[in-house]
């Protein structure tokens, strides 16, 4: 297959997701609209994080900043994985990590959860998506929607907050497996409806973030996490948008990630890109996977790492350059700029 001349950013991105030939890997960064950008901090001033997620104008503005300021080649909806959870009637606060008003610990709490239509409960999300899609139709930049994965949401909802061990959540998993399964089923339903509504509103690809699934050993992951991913992939794919699956710290569950059926696997930097690309082959495209801390390195080091990642990713059917985790508040803007430039400097032959 040959590469069509003059690909737009949208075409390059969607072709890379599907494993069709492209001139070079497209580039964007997880949490590219974030506190490391002075322009983002100005828009965020005097408003809470959750209110920012509900403020259509500001959310559209910060989502677009990385295109205008840094030249990234995909835009992701500005929001938070807990926004659809608000639609379940669960109280969430950010200080600055998520805090659940009443952690879900009982059968009654979990059996009372009802999935409503997200277009009714959190309509602003879809207004943001529609606003972004309009803004991006000129420059032909692809728009991504996203959701937190059921296991990660369940981890927070049961634990009540972030944790190093998530032992309350794991206790439910090992002592009350049927209850945990019910919770995961509800969250899977919710996620399917939420991503479906984003695609309907104009998202051209969606990313599922499973931040905490990597806490499980592979056998537990296969039992608890993989079925949620498979159900979401199967039911969301009908919308025609490729699905990108990100599992933080998931090097040990790569094979299970491949079995999810996701179009693209987003890897963190601990997962060797060369090994992953050989195992992925034609089964999935890959995204990633520079350690965000390396954006503090000298420019030449960033360029050399980007070249190496692109080289290692070649055995996979497609590759999207990205970090292995989100940009950090102390990420230097010049490092992000170097990363994007390095990606764009890759010739078709070397990527």
Q: Which residues bind a second copy (CB under 8 A)?
A: 165-168, 170-171, 174-175, 214-218, 220, 249, 251-252, 269-272, 291-294, 296-298, 301, 325, 328, 330-331
| Nearest partner of 144 among 260, 14, 43, judged by Cα | 14
Of 80, 220, 272, 291, which is the active-site residue? 80
Shortest Å distance, C-beta 49 to a second copy: 18
Shortest Å distance, C-beta 214 to a second copy: 7
Shortest Å distance, C-beta 37 to a second copy: 16
Contact indicator for 22, 7 with CB cutoff of 8 Å? yes
Nearer to a second copy, 88 or 215 (CB): 215
Backbone angles phi, psi at 310, to 5 degrees: -65, -40
What CA dihedral angle connects 240, 241, 247 and 251, to 10 degrees?
70
Nearer to a second copy, 197 or 310 (CB): 310
Residue 174 C-beta-side C-alpha neighbours within 13 Å: 8
Backbone angles phi, psi at 211, to 5 degrees: -70, -35
156 among known catalytic residues: yes
| Nearest partner of 264 among 203, 206, 190, judged by Cα | 206
Nearer to a second copy, 3 or 328 (CB): 328
CA distance 343 to 351: 9
Shortest Å distance, C-beta 255 to a second copy: 10
Nearer to a second copy, 159 or 263 (CB): 159
Shortest Å distance, C-beta 330 to a second copy: 6
Of 36, 40, 156, 246, which is the active-site residue? 156
Nearer to a second copy, 237 or 299 (CB): 299
Taking residue 160's Cβ as centre, other Cβ atoms within 10 Å add up to 17
279 among known catalytic residues: no
35 among known catalytic residues: yes
Find the largest Cα–Cα distance for the chain. Answer: 59
Of 10, 12, 31, 105, which is the active-site residue? 31
Of 10, 12, 15, 44, which is the active-site residue? 44
130 among known catalytic residues: no
Burial of 49 (0-12, 13-18, 19+ CB in 10 A): middle
| Nearest partner of 26 among 77, 76, 63, judged by Cα | 76
299 among known catalytic residues: no
CA distance 96 to 89: 20
Q: Supply the residues annotated as catalytic.
A: 31, 35, 44, 80, 156
């Amino acid at each position: 297959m040959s590469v069509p001349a003059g690909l737009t950013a949208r075409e390059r991105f969607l072709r890379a997701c599907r494993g069709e030939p492209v001139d070079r890997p497209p580039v964007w960064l997880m949490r590219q609209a974030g506190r490391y950008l002075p322009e983002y901090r100005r828009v965020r001033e005097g408003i809470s994080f959750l209110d920012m997620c509900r403020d259509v104008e500001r959310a559209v503005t910060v989502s677009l900043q990385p295109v205008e300021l840094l030249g990234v080649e995909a835009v992701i909806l500005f929001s938070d994985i807990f926004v659809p959870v608000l639609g379940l009637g669960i109280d969430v606060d950010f200080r600055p990590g998520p805090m659940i008003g009443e952690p879900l610990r009982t059968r009654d709490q979990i059996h009372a959860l009802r999935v409503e239509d997200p277009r009714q409960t959190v309509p602003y999300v879809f207004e943001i998506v529609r606003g972004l899609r309009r803004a991006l139709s000129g420059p032909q930049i692809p728009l991504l929607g996203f959701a937190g994965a059921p296991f990660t949401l369940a981890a927070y909802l049961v634990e009540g907050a972030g944790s190093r061990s998530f032992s309350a959540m794991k206790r439910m998993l090992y002592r009350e497996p049927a209850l945990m399964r019910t919770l995961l089923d509800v969250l899977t339903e919710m996620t399917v409806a939420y991503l479906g509504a984003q695609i309907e509103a104009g998202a051209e690809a969606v990313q599922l973030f499973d931040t905490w699934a990597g806490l499980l050993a592979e056998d537990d992951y296969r039992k608890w996490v993989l079925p949620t991913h498979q159900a979401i992939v199967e039911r969301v794919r009908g919308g025609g948008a490729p699905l990108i699956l990100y599992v933080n710290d998931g090097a040990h569950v790569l094979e299970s990630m491949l079995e999810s059926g996701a179009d693209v696997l987003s890897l963190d930097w601990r997962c060797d890109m060369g090994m992953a690309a050989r195992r992925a082959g034609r089964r999935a495209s890959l995204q990633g996977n520079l350690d965000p801390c390396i954006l503090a390195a000298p420019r030449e080091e960033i360029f050399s790492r980007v070249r190496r990642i692109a080289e290692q990713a070649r055995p996979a059917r497609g590759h999207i350059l990205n970090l292995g985790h989100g940009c950090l508040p102390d990420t230097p803007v010049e490092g992000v700029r170097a990363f994007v430039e390095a990606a764009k400097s890759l010739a078709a032959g070397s990527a």
